[in-house]
Structure 1
Amino acid sequence: ALERLALRWATAAARSALVLDGRPGRAARLVVGTAPALLVPDRLASAAVEFLSTVDLSRLKVCPVAEGGCGWLFLDITRNGSRRWCAMADCGAQAKSRRLTERRRARRATGVSPKAGS
């Protein structure tokens, strides 16, 4: 994925322009995406590279599809780096609900009654 982003960013950079800025103290600014049809993808690629170059990549995680998540990337900013889901209210709650349903089905199938309080 990073290789594709790097290629996309390099292509966007080739279509960018360095524009002189007439304001005092600023000689020039980079305008990313000068081709109208590719403006949005070029700027997204540039913003993604800028973002990835400023964050701790060990904190960049994927919401686990195999466990009911959506597969989107998210930045884990918890103190101990233990966040699992992109959003607990969405993917996390669905996964917890799914696990509870599976446990209940397994109990019914084996004839084991749940303990009080669980």
Structure 2
Amino acid sequence: PPVRAAADHLHTRRIAALGRSALRLRTGRRFQLEAAGAPALLVADRAVESAHELLLGPGLDRLGRCPTEQGGCGWLFLDHSRNRSRRWCRMSDCGTTVKARRLTERRRSTRTIDV
């Protein structure tokens, strides 16, 4: 199944990212995981770690996807609205664009042609 394959891929990437990191002792007997390696890998490693935290954390049920079938971009977002009704990744981007497109279509459909 695709979900299992994606989970396996994420796990493999996380193990590789952890292999490029080191546990360092900081002041106050606190430890911190430090990333190491090529700068290009640091971004990917952090993305993998964020995805891992999301999948195992309490916020997974707040994960949403900007609806491509309604003109959105398909990006993922966390819905922090009170009733979990957020639809767009960002209202100022996809939401406004789609609403403007709908308004234009409505106006075009209601125009009358004078002859």
Give the TM-score, by structure 2 length: 0.73
- Rg bigger for which structure? 1
2:108 to 89, 105, 108: 105
Amino acid across the alignment from 1:23: T
1:18 is aligned to 2:18: no
For 1:33-44, what aligned pairs fall within 5 Å after superposition? Answer: 34-37=36-39, 38-44=41-47
Q: Give the match's secondary structure for 2:107.
A: helix
Amino acid across the alignment from 2:73: C
Distance of 2:26 and 2:13 partners within structure 1: 30
The change in CA–CA distance for 1:105 and 1:12 in structure 2 (over 3 A counts) is same
The change in CA–CA distance for 1:40 and 1:87 in structure 2 (over 3 A counts) is closer
The change in CA–CA distance for 1:30 and 1:60 in structure 2 (over 3 A counts) is same
Spell out, residue by residue over 1:31-56, the C-alpha distance to the aligned partner (whole angstroms, 9 max, x if none): 23x22242222123223323443342
Deviation at 1:15, TM superposition (A): 2.1
1:46 is aligned to 2:49: yes
Amino acid across the alignment from 1:24: G
| Contact 2:54/2:60, CA 8 A, preserved across alignment | no
**Identity across matched positions, percent:** 49
Task: Identify the structure with the greater helix proportion.
Answer: 2
Give the TM-score, by structure 1 length: 0.71
1:68 is aligned to 2:71: yes
For 1:85-100, what aligned pairs fall within 5 Å after superposition? Answer: 85-100=88-103
Distance of 1:43 and 1:57 partners within structure 2: 18
Counterpart residue number, 1:115: none
* Aligned length in residues: 107
Deviation at 1:12, TM superposition (A): 0.7
